[in-house]
Structure formats: structure tokens, C-alpha cells
Amino acid sequence: MRLRRSLSQPDEPIELNLIPLIDIIMFLLIFFVSTTSFMEEPGMKVDKPASGGAGQSDNTSIIFVVGSDGKISFDGNEVGLAGVRPTVKRLCAKEPLPVVIQTHENARSGVMVRIVDEAMMGGAKDVSLAAERG
């Protein structure tokens, strides 16, 4: 008579049925989603500024353009490196404005550094660099 059962070889293969478990999880998910109340958070209204053209952006920043040949221009006129500081000083007389330097990808980095120095000495609030391809 054999009283102990051997665990090494079960008589029937053990099989785990996951379908009832998935059904219960889906039921709980549907229950919680349908009983959840979504509250609308109170907030404050913000007046968004209207989009402006080039005329409005002229008052908010000073833009210098550096060509691939190293020529520096402002507002379509060539000012050169000597004209950067007086231009920034004149435009920043009422309040300090940010300066943006748009450079061609082939422009020399030394010219950009000298423009940044001249703009900071002219009273610019901050100086940013922007590269253009072409």
C-alpha cells in the first residue's frame, strides 16, 4: 500500500486558467472608471496677447545679423562691429532690451564673441545667439 504521493511526477498536468482572473480585473476596472467623479479644477482666466507682426517684435529685442562674410547688419543696414555698441546704447536708453544675434552657419565664432561683448557693454539685458542655415 502506498501512502505517500510522489511530487516529482504529478498524475495530471497542472494548468492555470487566467480567463476568470482577466474577467474580474476588467469588471473592477469598469466599476472604478464608472463610479469615479471627475472634478473640474477652478482656475484663473488669462488674457493671451494677440499675435503681432514684425512691427511689434521690433520693440522687444534688438536683432543683429552676421553674414557668412562677417558683415554685421541691423535693420537691413550694415553697421559693422563699431556700430554695435552705439546702436544698443541708443535703443536701450529707456529700458534694457535683449539682443539676438542671427549668424550664418559659416560665420566665424570670434566675430560673434566680439558682438556679444559690445552688446553687453552697450547695456543689453541679455544676449542670445541664433544660427541660420543656408
Contact 91, 97 (CB under 8 A): yes
**Mean of pLDDT values over 85-101:** 87
User: pTM higher than 0.85, yes or no?
Assistant: no
Residue 31 pLDDT: 92
* Residue-wise pLDDT tens digits, 14-59: 778 888 999 999 999 999 988 887 777 777 777 666 655 444 444 6
Find the range with the poorest average confidence among 5-19, 61-75, 94-108.
Answer: 5-19
Mean pLDDT of the chain: 80
Phi, psi of 33 (to 5 degrees): -70, -40
Residue 28 pLDDT: 95
Contact 63, 102 (CB under 8 A): yes
Residue 93 pLDDT: 84
Q: Which of the pair, 55 or 122, is modelled with greater confidence?
A: 122
Three-state SS across the chain?
Answer: CCCCCCCCCCCCCCCCCCHHHHHHHHHHHHHHHHHCCCCCCCCCCCCCCCCCCHHHHCCCCEEEEECCCCCEEECCEECCHHHHHHHHHHHCCCCCCCEEEEEECCCCHHHHHHHHHHHHHCCCCCEEEEEECC
CB atoms within 10 A of CB 93: 10
Residue in the block written with cell 541708443 = 90
